[in-house]
Amino acid sequence: MTYVGKEWLELTKEEILDPDLPICDPHHHLWDKRTDRAPYHRYLLDELLEDTGSGHNVLSTVFVEAESMFRASGPDEFRSVGEVEFVQGTAAASASGIYGDIRAAAGIVGSANLNLGEGVRPVLEALKAASPNRIRGIRHRLTWDPHGALPEPWNGAYEPRVTSQASGQGQMSDSKFREGAQVLAEMGLSLEGWMYFHQLTELAEFAKSVPDLKIVLNHIGGLLRIGPYEGKDDETIPVWKEGIAAVAEAPNVVVKLGGLGMPIMGFGWHLREVPIGSEELAEEMAPFLSYCIEQFGVDRSMFESNFPVDKVSFSYHVLYNAFKMFSSGYTDRERSALFYDNAMQVYRVDRNQ
């Protein structure tokens, strides 16, 4: 049985550690998926502020595309512009100061199909027009697995999840995709890399082919430990480590430390009768976070919430307590980089906008 929900999360409450430590959360979503049976199908500004305002010093956030609020009509390749228009309004509301000192969605990552090649340019121009002061990049989802769609357990049921741009194997090696990526680089925008662990060596080769493109690897590289990968850590984790090491050799790639609360990561935290606490969470995440930081270095790594997706496993205040526990042995400068400075620099966040 799955116990996710607000009442469930409130069963684990903790005192906030290091409450003054500045945080820029570089990865969250906003959506209203009324027909979705998954938990937290509504996550708009009020819900985000409830989480970020739970005690930690979250000063700014970065929105990452969620295939929500797309335009209902018009050419397919431009429909994603609607999402950025929506988030730009949310960001403007936050910037008014009415909701406090936080600057939510101070950076915006939209979506566009790089398989359009040079044809992606007008889409990117439309995204920039929709958010001239906050758009920072796009995410083209690349998740592909030879076993087909992987299940996500929502409310005890398994429903296969697919993504609109996950059109098959080998996209990063395709000439049209690389042409589109070059356009992205020319326009000063970054690419979010969301894929699975066995695709990381392909990412490493791709990153070398577009050295001027800033690439942000999402969710520690997409480790899979469910379905056909369940109980096979001795096989999958070495492949993941090899891939992370290969990607880290490309200086234009940075990594986000988070996403471990997604059920596909295989920890099973969402199945507990009482949500996990930060001490145990920090301990279980540590081997994966540590390896990423060892390979990428402190200055190319950043903590992320991935909310509300990771919210199925723990609350916001518990997650950031766990990040703080995990990083307690780092210097003040290193912690500042992991929690705030790197995200502010990568996404060029301006809290005055």
Residue 351: inside a domain, yes or no? no
Q: Which residue has the higher pLDDT, 161 or 262?
A: 262
Residue 227: inside a domain, yes or no? yes
Tokens of 105: 């969605």
Residue 121: inside a domain, yes or no? yes
Q: What is the pLDDT of residues 130-144, one digit of tens each?
A: 999 999 999 999 999
What average pLDDT does the chain have? 93
Residue 248: inside a domain, yes or no? yes
> Cα-Cα-Cα-Cα dihedral of 256, 258, 260, 263, to 10°?
-90
Residue 1: inside a domain, yes or no? no
Q: Which pLDDT band holds residue 151 (cuts at 50, 70, 90)?
A: low
Q: Which domain CATH number covers 236?
A: 3.20.20.140
Q: In the chain, how many domains are there? A: 1
Residue 39: inside a domain, yes or no? yes
**pTM for the complete prediction?**
0.95
Q: What is the pLDDT of residues 223-252, one digit of tens each?
A: 999 989 999 999 999 999 999 999 999 999
Q: At what angle do helices 233-248 and 278-296 cross, to 10 degrees?
A: 50
Residue 352: inside a domain, yes or no? no
Q: Which pLDDT band holds residue 193 (cuts at 50, 70, 90)?
A: very high
Residue 187: inside a domain, yes or no? yes
Domain assignment of residue 25, given as a range:
6-346
- pLDDT at 74 exceeding the cut of 50: yes
